[in-house]
Structure 1
Amino acid sequence: HAKPPVAAPSRTPTPPTAAAVRASLGVEVVDAPQGPGALVVAVHVPGPGYTAGLVRGDVLLSLGKAGIGSASDLAAVVSDARPGHQLKLKVRHDSGQRQELAVTPGVVT
């Protein structure tokens, strides 16, 4: 009797590990032109940023306890965030008004 073929371990799909799960705010940002921060240029609908009330033109100043000086700062802070755990997000709106929002990063799929 012939044995059935055995799949090589490298071909077996592996379940995602906790390290593979990345957080996302569902926004696209660039460096803020005036002062520190990350300028929101697009908000994904639906998405965590949209749910929190972010709109295009907002400047993100801090997330949790971390200050945001640039778009790359935001990327680093979000990548360290735990999906599903609410954080405080400090925002400067286009009008100049500052606001603190609650945002819950989602999972990048």
Structure 2
Amino acid sequence: GSLGVEVVDAPKGPGALVVAVHVPGPGYTAGLVRGDVLVRLGTAEIGSASDLAAVVGDARPGHQLVMTVRHDSGARQQLAVTPGVVT
């Protein structure tokens, strides 16, 4: 599966910092923007970029997941994302 985003380890605490969002793509459709930090995807806590890659790799394409993101402002938001197929 793929979210269509590029991430690095978040510099301020756990999570995966979004550094690029592919347009079009599942992350863009869900509302992710550069600077968001993914901290949860489905039932999995995301502590780093490699955690996110592992969870997304195990996700079933076409099945919606809820992700929790932390914005630059510190506010948290839940977004629905449907991982796509890497082509």
Provide the aligned length of Structure 1 versus Structure 2.
Answer: 87
Question: After the TM superposition, which segments of 4 or more aligned residues of structure 1 sit over 6 Å from their partners?
Answer: none
SS where residue 85 of structure 1 aligns? coil
Question: 1:60 maps to what in 2?
Answer: 38
Q: For 2:84, give the aligned amino acid.
A: G
Q: Alignment RMSD, CA only? A: 0.3
In the alignment, structure 2 segments of 5+ residues that lack a partner are: none
Identity, % of aligned pairs?
Answer: 86
SS where residue 60 of structure 1 aligns? strand
Aligned counterparts of 1:52 and 1:102: Cα–Cα separation in 2 = 6
Question: 2:56 maps to what in 1?
Answer: 78
Report whether the alignment pairs 1:47 with 2:25.
yes
Report whether the alignment pairs 1:33 with 2:6.
no
Aligned counterparts of 1:98 and 1:86: Cα–Cα separation in 2 = 19
Deviations for 1:49-107, whole angstroms, at most 9, x for unmatched residues? 00000000000001000000000000000000000000000000111110000000000
Aligned counterparts of 1:107 and 1:62: Cα–Cα separation in 2 = 20
Compute the TM-score of the two structures, normalised by the length of structure 2: 0.99
Compute the TM-score of the two structures, normalised by the length of structure 1: 0.79
Which of structures 1 and 2 has the bigger CA Rg?
Answer: 1
Question: 1:100 maps to what in 2?
Answer: 78
The higher relative CO (CA closer than 8 Å, separation ≥ 6) is in 2
Aligned counterparts of 2:82 and 2:19: Cα–Cα separation in 1 = 19
Aligned counterparts of 1:44 and 1:56: Cα–Cα separation in 2 = 10
